[in-house]
Amino acid sequence: MYANDGFRELDRQECLQLLAKVPVGRIVHTRQALPAVLPVNFALDGDGTVLLRTSAASELVRAIHGSVVAFEADQVDPDTQSGWSVVVTGAATVVTDAAEHERLVRTGPRSWAPAPHEVFVRIAPELVTGRELVGGRSLYGLTP
């Protein structure tokens, strides 16, 4: 069932299934008291935790470690006027356990911009929300 705005709310499981299908999302954090958004590649770990792999010296790590952030990924098809968007909100922490880091080196996301010293950042899925728009439904629930 679609709400009046033409979107269908997705449950947590649907959101995680959709996130697993795309390689890139955006992390939203605070930078100098203003919102900042960066595209990142990612992977999901067991319970829906979002994993990022980045340079240990990156500004991103300093900005998000220990902070609550939002992570968003989506997929849109302009030809069919359909798509979805999922947002994961939660605390971001750098993985410091050596055994866990080694596991993630083998199984975690691969960096698209490798650096000599990389770390993994976990975003705990405290709040997972998503919406789907299916063919021809506009923001106002009208068909074109």
> What's the whole-number mean pLDDT along residues 128-141?
71
The band of 115, judged by pLDDT with boundaries at 50, 70 and 90, is confident
Q: Which two tokens stand for residue 74?
A: 């989506």
Query: Cβ(92)–Cβ(67) under 8 Å?
Result: yes
Query: Cβ(50)–Cβ(88) under 8 Å?
Result: yes
Q: CA 48, CA 66: separation in Å to the nearest integer?
A: 18
Top CATH class of 7-133 equals mainly beta
Percent of the chain, pLDDT > 90?
Answer: 67
pLDDT computed for residue 70 by the predictor = 97
pLDDT computed for residue 142 by the predictor = 39
Amino acid at 121: V
- 33 CB-near residues (< 8 Å, 6+ apart): none
Place of tokens 């106002």: 140
pLDDT tens column, 24-80: 999 999 988 899 999 999 999 988 899 999 999 988 898 898 899 999 999 998 888
Q: CA 40, CA 52: separation in Å to the nearest integer?
A: 7
The band of 138, judged by pLDDT with boundaries at 50, 70 and 90, is very low
pLDDT computed for residue 3 by the predictor = 54
Q: What is the mean pLDDT of the chain?
A: 88
